[in-house]
Copies of this chain bind each other. A is one copy, B any other.
Amino acid sequence: MTRVRMDLFVSLDGYTSTAGRSSENPMGEDWNRLTAAYSATRTFHEQVVGDSTGTTGIDNTYAAAFFQGVGAEIMGAAMFGLHSFPDDPDWKGWWGNQPPFGTPVYVLTHAAPRPSIPMAGETTFHFRSTSVEDVLIEAREAAGGLDVRVGGGIGTARDFLRANLVDDLHLMITPIILGRGTRLWDDLPGLDRTHKVTTEVAESGAIHVTFTR
């Protein structure tokens, strides 16, 4: 049965942040600190860096699961980069010619409609201006029984959480205090009352929290 899954990186003070974003540093300076333990995993090295070094502990177990069993991905316009390159019809996202998704990816946007973009490796970007509920219906169908992953960014993630659409939420909490960015938790319902919670600490010190229903 299709489950709706989400993985989020947050700081100990509950922020996700892309402060200091630039074309050289598209996710921002804080993002690198927030995702350092993930970027150090063997999975990240194999999927993105292109070598087979990296950590093989608890962080890597979670990283390896990110795209496993996923049949469709949903993300916000900012995560695709539409806000950074609004006028470039040839912009194809931050993920290179062969993005790691390997599935249809639905990009939520209020901008003018764009044609879908097929990429190498079975990723196709589709652009939709619908509600989170409606894009989820389409993504579920496309997933063909596999899971739907909501990739972010934080605004899109919070929309899905507020609409109570997420079955499995995984937080990777890095024990740093950012003090700026977007707060994950504001006005969110008590996920701990609707979902079962687990906690685990990785060798890196990162805290993994899962909410499952």
- Give A residues with C-beta under 8 Å from B: 12-14, 175-179, 184-185, 187-192, 197-201, 205-207, 209
Expressed in whole angstroms, the minimum distance between the Cβ of A181 and any Cβ of chain B is 12
Expressed in whole angstroms, the minimum distance between the Cβ of A174 and any Cβ of chain B is 9
Q: How far is the CA of A93 from the CA of B82 in the complex (A)?
A: 58
Contact pick for A12, options B189, B198, B205, B209, CB 8 Å = B209
Other A-B pairs, 19, CB within 8 Å; known A13-B188, A175-B197, A201-B201: A12-B209, A13-B14, A13-B184, A13-B185, A14-B14, A175-B192, A175-B199, A176-B197, A177-B188, A177-B189, A177-B190, A179-B185, A179-B187, A198-B205, A199-B201, A199-B205, A199-B206, A199-B207, A201-B207
Expressed in whole angstroms, the minimum distance between the Cβ of A20 and any Cβ of chain B is 15
Expressed in whole angstroms, the minimum distance between the Cβ of A29 and any Cβ of chain B is 13
Expressed in whole angstroms, the minimum distance between the Cβ of A195 and any Cβ of chain B is 10
With a 10 A CB-CB cut-off, give which of A13, A197, A209 has the most chain B CB atoms. Answer: A13
Considering the complex of A and B, which 5 residue pairs feature the smallest CB-CB distances, nearest first? A13-B185, A176-B192, A175-B197, A199-B201, A177-B190
Which B residues touch A13, using CB under 8 A?
14, 184-185, 188
Expressed in whole angstroms, the minimum distance between the Cβ of A75 and any Cβ of chain B is 24
Which B residues touch A207, using CB under 8 A?
199, 201, 207, 209
Q: How far is the CA of A206 from the CA of B14 in the complex (A)?
A: 17
